[in-house]
Structure 1
Amino acid sequence: MTQKPKVFTMSFAKVYACLVAKAERKGRTQVEVDSIIHWLTGYDPKSLQGLVTKGTDYETFFTEAPRLNPARSLIKGSICGIRVEDIEDPTMREIRYLDKLIDELAKGKSLTTIMRKAE
């Protein structure tokens, strides 16, 4: 039996705090992080806070997302040396999509650019 990657069992609260801290270190805001998460998953700020309070794990955060954005397949590029479009495990791919979007935010890209639109 294959063991799940450790990131799947991490609490969303811990990961969320890291995502916000990364953005804030680069002069971006929690509101911008929340906007990206909303675009990607459909969670609004109130539901995000509920997930933090409830202690939801990171895998469940993605598997129970209200509305995964179909345009997320337009997210391309490398994160941690791995091309996101080549990741086979669907949950890991979702995790890396969010990582990639937060990286783009931290690098100064606009929200309009980050939140890709389907052609």
Structure 2
Amino acid sequence: AALALGLRERGAEVDEIAVYHTVPGDGVAALAEHPRASHADAITFTSSSTVRYTLDGLERDGMARGDAAALLNGTAIVCIGPITAETARAEGLRVDAEAREFTGAGVVDALVAWFAGHEG
């Protein structure tokens, strides 16, 4: 959506064709059952929708949105890039690291760098 908007602003005619559709899963239930995000060392978000779906899932399980953000903020949060990080921050999450390369490998690199700087 951001790319299409930028192209339109520059006068391009853009046709958007959805090639996949992200749907919420039920994997967040385990987070709500355990204090401090189930002993997780880190949580990664690879899109804005994963941020929203995680918080929505915790909310569906009966946790207030603010409490869900507080739960997730109890562990390291790593985002795939600036748009995802912006969404996370807007939802009240503290983003600890952001990938420089917007790929799975970039997320791994960001995780490694963050933990290397926070060894106790």
TM-score by length of 2: 0.30
The structure whose residues are more often strand, as a share, is: 2
Whose relative contact order is higher, 1 or 2, with alpha carbons under 8 Å and at least 6 apart?
A: 1
Say which one has the larger Rg: 2
TM-score by length of 1: 0.30
The structure whose residues are more often helix, as a share, is: 1
